[in-house]
Structure 1
Amino acid sequence: MESNKGMVGMALGSWLVAFAGGTLAGTLAWVLFGWSFLQGAFLGAVVFLVAGVLVSWVMTRPLPRPGEVKINPPTPAAKASATKAAPINVAPAPTAAQVKPTARLAGEEELASRKGDWKYEKEAAPAPAPKKKAAPKKAPAKKAAPKAAAAPDGRPAYLSDAPTGTADDLKKISGVGPKLEQTLNELGVWHFEQVAQFKKKDIAWVDERLRFKGRIERDDWVGQAKALANAKD
């Protein structure tokens, strides 16, 4: 009775596992892969049936009863043949005393009389490698030219009355219109690089001469000018 109850329980457990697998497969196909509900339900049913049959067959397969499996012990003759091996006879190596020449070779005595004392001379030491010439000393770097002093009215030294080459389109900076660009040119601002160099004192000097004060920091002219200068390069 207990064995039958165990088999029934295992079968029910197998079908429950198959049901869970089929439900999961159908849900994934429906949600993740965009299948319709009927397609997902059909896939879940197929997975449920196949998995239920396989799992229940594996789990409820009867084990062999005691005494059904027999193992034949090895015979004494096989044990003896496995443990005993035929001895291997190894002939002893001939010693130096047992080897004797049968007859003298022709000219052996003449060769023996020509023997002399040989000496090996030491090899001469290799010549020292030529020394490398010292690299010429580099000329001292020229000192940088001193920066130009600011104008008496406080105008930054890097602002100029005329552009260096072609003037940049300062209207690309957000908040700068045609009139404001003309005002900046009159103050000596022609290029994005000049705006990118603005320090607090420079911003204060330019801001005093603009109609709308505080626009330089509010619109972040310095950050915009740096980006435009890098894009121009």
Structure 2
Amino acid sequence: MRKAENMNAPWLGGWVLGAAAGLVAFGVLVIVGKFDLFPAGALAVVVAAAAGLVLGMPWGAQGPALPVTPLKAAAKPAASAEPVAAAATPAAFVAVPEAAPAPAAKPAAKAAAKPKAAKAKADGPERLTAPRKGRADDLKEIEGIGPAMEKLVNELGFYHFDQIAGWSDADVAWVDANMKTFKGRIVRDKWVAQAKIIVNEGLEAFRERAKTNNY
């Protein structure tokens, strides 16, 4: 307590509290208010001087209760920062669940389309990738098929008499369209009729009939 005879003299404690208020103001301005150091320092000096005048001079000698008010005022900006952080938190969770599963359906649809294309190419008569049991018939027995023609027919997938004997008119047209050369020979030389005789009557009977072109 100040003595009665010093009531009209300046109070040193008031200036100390004023300096403390200036430091608190400086911290609030820099940390909460984001002030630069120089403006914050200038304002802090003003606050310290004002508080010192109020508390240190004789009219402020009744008690140092006033510095409490700046401390409470300084606490309010800190509280306002919390809602900002809280508001930012839900945004972080919104972006996570929205990604990947949908594109998985597209490859399945593309894969399903391929077998249809493969079936569309399966036209024409029955064809083989190689002769049965590794041994082809001598297709040159048929009149009109020489070595070059036999090689061409083999390349198309025909190695046996029964394959040619089973050709329909549509099959004949398909083979003729896919032959590089000698087009029209199948019908003109009666390949299908000759092959049917070989399959049904045997090769020897066919050779006898071939002497008179009895197809």
TM-score for the superposition, normalised by structure 1:
0.33
If each structure's helix is expressed as a fraction of its own residues, which one has the higher value? 2
Which has the larger Rg?
Answer: 2
